[in-house]
Chains A and B, each alone.
Chain A
C-alpha cells in the first residue's frame, strides 16, 4: 500500500468556499463548519521514509558521522596553556570570562570576533544557497543530522518503511512493546548524550563529568543537559519535518536567496512527463521516463512529492535522487531523472535549448563580495589584534582640582588590559600638557614616565593624577594622550586635560 502525502493541495476549494447549496456564508459560520469538519487544526501525518542507497545517502552518512564526531569529541581535546589557565582546546569559560579556541583566547570585549564569525557564516550560507540550494538544510543542519540518526535507530528496532507501517497499525503485542520501548530508550540515550556533550563546552570536561555524576556540577549544567535532552528527544523523535516546516524561519529566508539558476533537487519534467506505469519491453516512445513508482515520495523524510516542483518543505537532501536512480538503473534508463538541477535548465531543455549553469550572477557576486569583505576585515582585525589595550577614564567629578600654587590636577583611571600570558612591565607616559607631572597616589610624583606592572591575562586599573603647572593652563581643554609600552607593544589612549581656565 502506498500513501501519497501531498500537502501542496488543500481540500477541495469548492467545499470550503461556500456553505451547503453554494451560498456564501459568514466568517463565523465558516469557522463553525471547519471546527465540525475538524480542519481548523491539522494533525501531523506520520512519515515513514524508506531507506535508500546511493551517492547522496553515502554522503549524508559520512557527514552525519563527521559532524556528530566533531560535536562529541571536541570538548575532550586538550591544548597546553601557561599557568593555571584551562587546558581544554575549545572552552566557553563563563566563570573566567574567556573563550578559548586552541591557540586563540578571546575576552568578552572582543565578542565582535564572534559576531564577525556569525556574519561570515550567514554570508557563506547565502552564497551556498544561491549557488547550490539548501545544502545546509539537507546535510549539515543539526535538526537533519539528529533526525537522520533517530530514523536510523528506528529502522534498527522496527525495520524499514513497510514494516514500520505494519507495526504501527498492528495491535499492541509483546513484539511491538519491546521494539517501541527499545527505540525510545536508545533515543533517550542519544538525547542525553547530546545534552551531556553540550555542557562540556562550558566547563573542564574531565572535571565536569566527575562532578556531574556525584551531583556536584553547577545547576546550569544539569538544567542545560535536561533541556537539550528534552529538545533532542522531542525534535528529532517526534517533531522532525514539523520543525523545518513550521518552526524554522530559514526555509522562508532561503526563498529570497534562490533564483532560477540555483541548483536544487529537481524533477526534470522535460524528461519525466508524461508519466505513467510502464510494461516490460514496451516502447519508451512518446512518453516520459517517470513510471510513477512513487519511490521518490516514500523515500522523502519531509513527506512531499518532488514532482510537484520546488517546495518550501524540501530540504534538498537528495534522497529521492538516490531512490529514483535505483529505479532508472533497473529499467535501463539513464539516471538523474531527479537531480540537482536548476529551473532554468529544465525550462531550456523543454525548449530544446542547451542548458547553461552560470555560477557568476549578480546575487552570487554580491554575496561573494560581501563574504570576502567581511572575511578580509575580520582577518585584518585578528592579525592586528594587540595583547595590550589601554583606556583612560578621566575623573568627571570633580573635572579638575586647583592646587595651592595655582596648578591644576586632573585624575585619571587607566584600564590596562594585558591579554598576554606573561606579566608586563609598562612605561606610562603622558603627552599634551607641557611640564605635567604624573603621580600614582602614595608614590612620588615624576615629570617623566611611570612604571606599572600589569599582571597577565587581566585588566589592571591604575589611578593617575596629572599636575599641570599654571603656565600650561592655556585653554579650557588640552588634548592629551596616555601611552603605555613594554618596549615591544604599545597602546595609546586619547583623552582631555581639563584646566578650569575660562572659556
Chain B
C-alpha cells in the first residue's frame, strides 16, 4: 500500500501515496498548527461554559452568559410593539382619507394591512385578494357593498351575514329549492339574466320571464338589473359574476340563492388594524 520514496528534487520523503504520478512530500507540520488545534479545543470548552451547549433529558445547559434566542425574540417583539404603538396612535387619530393622503402613514398602513390581510382575509379572498367562485374579488371595480373607503371600512367592521347585530345582510331566496318557482320559470329567468348582461339569449324565454323578473327580482336587482349596493344586491349587467357567468351557474344561483358569510372583524381586530386593512384593500382595488 504505502510506497515511500525520496523526492529527488527536495530530498524529502513522500507520504507514499500517488495520484496520477504526483506524490506528496511528507514535510513536518509547523508546530503552531498544533497550537491552533489546542486553541480551538480550548475555545470550545469556554464556549460550552458560557453559551447554551449540551442537550439533556429535561432541557439543556444554559451557559453562564444567559444567552437565549427565545428571550431575544420576545424582547424584539416588545420593542416592536412600542414602535408600532406610536404609529398605531397616528392611525387612530387620522381619518381614512388623511391616511391615504400622507405617504408615510399610507405606507405604514399598507404594510400593516398586507400582513393582516394575509393572516385573516386570504383564506377566503386569496393571498392576492382576487377571490374565487363565491368569494368576492377585492381587486376589481365591482363591489357588492360599495368600494369607497367608508363602505369597505364598514363591511370589514360589521361583516356579512355573520349572525352578529348590525352585520350587513342580504338574502336571496332559494327559488328552486324552496319551490317558490317552477323549474321552467327558473329556466326562463336564467335566459333573462343572460339577456341582461348583453349576451345572446332565447328571445321567447326572455319575453316569458320579463314580468316574472319584475315581480320576483327587480325589488333588489333593480328593474334594469343594475342591482343596489345599499342592499348588497349584485349588478347583473356587468362582466363580473360571483358564482359564475354561464347558464348552469346562473340557474344554480337562482335555484339555491347562495350567500357567503364574512366575520364581524370589529369584534376580532382593533380599530387601527381595521383602518389599515381598509386602506390596503382600497389601494389594491385601484381606489374607488
Residues of A at under 8 Å CB distance from B? 8-10, 13, 16-17, 27, 34, 39-44, 239, 242, 246, 395-398, 401-406, 409, 411, 439, 441-443, 463, 465
Known: A401-B140, A442-B283; 4 extra A-B contacts, CB below 8 A, are: A242-B32, A246-B33, A397-B126, A406-B239
Residues A395 and B13 in contact, CB atoms below 8 Å apart: no
Residues A398 and B31 in contact, CB atoms below 8 Å apart: no
- Known contacts: A397-B130, A401-B130, A403-B141. The answer to whether A42 contacts B29 by CB under 8 A is yes
Residues of B at under 8 Å CB distance from A? 2, 4, 6, 10-13, 16, 27-34, 100-101, 126-130, 137, 139-142, 235, 238-240, 282-284, 286-287
Residues A441 and B287 in contact, CB atoms below 8 Å apart: yes
Task: Write the chain B residue with the least CB distance to A409.
Answer: B286
Q: List 5 A-B contacts (CB under 8 A).
A: A42-B30, A397-B128, A404-B235, A409-B140, A411-B139
Residues of B within 8 A of A16 (CB): 13
Residues B286 and A405 in contact, CB atoms below 8 Å apart: no
Residues of A within 8 A of B284 (CB): 411, 441
Partner of B140, one of A41, A397, A404: A404
Partner of B29, one of A41, A239, A411, A442: A41
Shortest beta-carbon distance from B22 to chain A in Å? 14
Residues of B within 8 A of A441 (CB): 282-284, 286-287
Shortest beta-carbon distance from A418 to chain B in Å? 16
Residues B13 and A10 in contact, CB atoms below 8 Å apart: yes
In the docked arrangement, what's the CA distance between A403 and B139, Å? 9
- What 5 pairs across the A-B complex have the smallest Cβ distances? A397-B128, A398-B130, A404-B238, A10-B12, A441-B287
Shortest beta-carbon distance from B4 to chain A in Å? 6
Partner of A39, one of B16, B28, B139: B28
A-B CB pair tally, cutoff 8 Å: 97
Residues of B within 8 A of A396 (CB): 128
Residues A395 and B128 in contact, CB atoms below 8 Å apart: yes
Task: Write the chain B residue with the least CB distance to A30.
Answer: B4
Residues A402 and B239 in contact, CB atoms below 8 Å apart: yes
Residues A41 and B287 in contact, CB atoms below 8 Å apart: no
Shortest beta-carbon distance from A229 to chain B in Å? 18
Residues of A within 8 A of B137 (CB): 398, 401
Shortest beta-carbon distance from A283 to chain B in Å? 34
In the docked arrangement, what's the CA distance between A443 and B103, Å? 13
Residues B100 and A42 in contact, CB atoms below 8 Å apart: no
Residues A8 and B30 in contact, CB atoms below 8 Å apart: no
Shortest beta-carbon distance from B76 to chain A in Å? 17
Residues A13 and B239 in contact, CB atoms below 8 Å apart: no
Partner of B100, one of A9, A442, A465: A442
- Known contacts: A401-B140, A442-B287. The answer to whether A17 contacts B31 by CB under 8 A is no
Task: Write the chain B residue with the least CB distance to A26.
Answer: B2
Residues of B within 8 A of A34 (CB): 28
Task: Write the chain A residue with the least CB distance to B27.
Answer: A10
Partner of A41, one of B2, B16, B28, B286: B28
Task: Write the chain A residue with the least CB distance to B2.
Answer: A27
In the docked arrangement, what's the CA distance between A253 and B117, Å? 56
Shortest beta-carbon distance from B38 to chain A in Å? 12
In the docked arrangement, what's the CA distance between A408 and B127, Å? 19
Residues of A within 8 A of B142 (CB): 403-404
In the docked arrangement, what's the CA distance between A9 and B282, Å? 82
Shortest beta-carbon distance from B8 to chain A in Å? 10
Shortest beta-carbon distance from B29 to chain A in Å? 5
In the docked arrangement, what's the CA distance between A170 and B242, Å? 97
Chain A CB within 10 A, most for which of B27, B100, B101, B286: B286
Partner of B13, one of A17, A41, A43, A443: A17
Residues A9 and B11 in contact, CB atoms below 8 Å apart: yes
In the docked arrangement, what's the CA distance between A405 and B287, Å? 17
Residues of B within 8 A of A39 (CB): 28
Residues B13 and A398 in contact, CB atoms below 8 Å apart: no
Residues of A within 8 A of B33 (CB): 41, 246
In the docked arrangement, what's the CA distance between A463 and B287, Å? 12
In the docked arrangement, what's the CA distance between A395 and B2, Å? 65
Shortest beta-carbon distance from B132 to chain A in Å? 10
In the docked arrangement, what's the CA distance between A406 and B238, Å? 8
Chain B CB within 10 A, most for which of A9, A34, A411, A441: A441
Shortest beta-carbon distance from A62 to chain B in Å? 33
In the docked arrangement, what's the CA distance between A44 and B91, Å? 69
Residues of B within 8 A of A9 (CB): 10-11
In the docked arrangement, what's the CA distance between A16 and B26, Å? 10
Residues B13 and A401 in contact, CB atoms below 8 Å apart: no
Residues of A within 8 A of B30 (CB): 41-44, 242, 246
Task: Write the chain A residue with the least CB distance to B34.
Answer: A41
In the docked arrangement, what's the CA distance between A401 and B129, Å? 10
Residues of B within 8 A of A443 (CB): 287
Residues B13 and A13 in contact, CB atoms below 8 Å apart: yes
Residues of A within 8 A of B101 (CB): 442
Residues A17 and B235 in contact, CB atoms below 8 Å apart: no
Shortest beta-carbon distance from B102 to chain A in Å? 11
Residues of B within 8 A of A442 (CB): 100-101, 283, 287
Shortest beta-carbon distance from B127 to chain A in Å? 6
- Known contacts: A40-B28, A404-B235. The answer to whether A398 contacts B139 by CB under 8 A is yes
Task: Write the chain B residue with the least CB distance to A40.
Answer: B28
Shortest beta-carbon distance from B99 to chain A in Å? 10
In the docked arrangement, what's the CA distance between A406 and B197, Å? 11
Residues of B within 8 A of A43 (CB): 30-31
Shortest beta-carbon distance from A497 to chain B in Å? 16
In the docked arrangement, what's the CA distance between A441 and B278, Å? 13
Shortest beta-carbon distance from A472 to chain B in Å? 15
Partner of A403, one of B4, B34, B100, B239: B239
Shortest beta-carbon distance from A400 to chain B in Å? 9
In the docked arrangement, what's the CA distance between A406 and B28, Å? 81
Task: Write the chain A residue with the least CB distance to B127.
Answer: A397
In the docked arrangement, what's the CA distance between A239 and B11, Å? 26
Residues A13 and B11 in contact, CB atoms below 8 Å apart: yes
Residues of A within 8 A of B27 (CB): 10, 42
In the docked arrangement, what's the CA distance between A397 and B114, Å? 13
Task: Write the chain A residue with the least CB distance to B286.
Answer: A465
Residues of A within 8 A of B28 (CB): 34, 39-42
- Known contacts: A17-B4, A402-B239. The answer to whether A42 contacts B286 by CB under 8 A is no
Residues A405 and B100 in contact, CB atoms below 8 Å apart: no
Residues B239 and A404 in contact, CB atoms below 8 Å apart: yes
Shortest beta-carbon distance from A88 to chain B in Å? 29
- Known contacts: A17-B6, A17-B13, A42-B28. The answer to whether A402 contacts B128 by CB under 8 A is no
Shortest beta-carbon distance from B227 to chain A in Å? 11
Shortest beta-carbon distance from B140 to chain A in Å? 5
Task: Write the chain B residue with the least CB distance to A16.
Answer: B13
Residues A402 and B11 in contact, CB atoms below 8 Å apart: no
Residues of A within 8 A of B34 (CB): 41
Task: Write the chain B residue with the least CB distance to A395.
Answer: B128
Residues of B within 8 A of A10 (CB): 10-13, 27
Shortest beta-carbon distance from B138 to chain A in Å? 9
Residues A404 and B11 in contact, CB atoms below 8 Å apart: no
Residues B13 and A44 in contact, CB atoms below 8 Å apart: no
Residues of A within 8 A of B287 (CB): 439, 441-443
